[in-house]
Structure 1
Amino acid sequence: MADFDARMIILSTENLDESIRLYSEVLGMPLKFRDGDHFAALDGGSVTVALATAIDHPLPGQVVVGIKTPDVEAAAKAVEDAGGGIAKAAYDDAHERRSVVYDHFGNGIVFYSPLQR
């Protein structure tokens, strides 16, 4: 399996505004993108720190690694074949194709690929 690019850590929040304030004003991470009151992405340098409420979080309450890949289905299958599991089979949201998996220790991973519009 090739062509993976770990780019994002997704954190849970119950209050997006408060979390954005902490990560941007206190920790100095510029806001890159915001989607309503349920998702925001901040510039953490070489990694994006995403904040998501239960509405948009792939596994609410867990820290999840986001990995960009051109083949979401193949990546999910590879993790499953290695002893992990698929929590959400591949689906399209407003911005990207995603699949949510967990590794053999229960850690969450979301594979994603931007939708071609």
Structure 2
Amino acid sequence: MSDYDVRQVVLSTDDLDASIAFYTETLGMKLKFRDGAHYAQLDGGSISLALATPVDHPIPGKIAVGVKTADVDAAAAAVAENGGAIIKEAYNDAHERRAVVYDNQGNGIVFYSPLPRD
């Protein structure tokens, strides 16, 4: 079994309220949570659909795939060593360690791993 678990697709939006309304009212998706005016996550079944404004989107204007992994640093390094590129080196935010990369064809990937809770 792979250490990589595709967990979400992150879409760009300039209007979080309108995007949430579209996916909940038009497609019937359930809102899992909202983080302020810049990020929300919807229940997409086997994966989550994330909506993010440029403030919280890892690659604004693009679609990014969120991949959970135990070793964010190693995942980013492997991509860079095999024809991809690191867009944002591994760093810790409030909830997780993450790195933003492009694969060898320019597709966005966000590797992440939850930080231990105190």
The alignment's TM-score, normalised by the length of structure 2, stands at 0.96
Q: Which residue does 2:63 correspond to in 1?
A: 63
**Which 5+ residue runs of structure 2 have no aligned equivalent?**
none
The structural deviation recorded for 1:91 is 0.8
Partners of 1:47 and 1:30 in 2: how far apart? 12
Partners of 1:33 and 1:88 in 2: how far apart? 25
Q: Which residue does 1:94 correspond to in 2?
A: 94
Task: For residues 38-72 of structure 1, give each alpha carbon's deviation from its aligned partner in whole angstroms, at most 9, with x where no partner exists.
Answer: 00000000010000000000000000000000100
The structural deviation recorded for 1:88 is 0.2
Q: Which residue does 1:72 correspond to in 2?
A: 72
Partners of 2:28 and 2:82 in 1: how far apart? 38
1:1-117 mapped onto 2 (5 Å cutoff):
2-117=2-117
RMSD: 1.1
Which contiguous aligned blocks of 4+ residues in structure 1 show a shift greater than 6 angstroms? none
The structural deviation recorded for 1:25 is 1.2
The alignment's TM-score, normalised by the length of structure 1, stands at 0.97
Q: Residue type matched to 2:102 in 1?
A: Y
> What SS is found at the alignment partner of 2:22?
helix
Q: Residue type matched to 1:45 in 2?
A: G
User: Once the two structures are aligned, what percentage of the paired residues are identical?
Assistant: 65
> What SS is found at the alignment partner of 1:90?
strand
Q: Residue type matched to 1:62 in 2?
A: K
The structural deviation recorded for 1:115 is 1.1
**Which 5+ residue runs of structure 1 have no aligned equivalent?**
none
Q: How many residues align structurally? A: 117
Q: Residue type matched to 1:90 in 2?
A: A
Partners of 1:90 and 1:37 in 2: how far apart? 25
Partners of 1:28 and 1:81 in 2: how far apart? 41
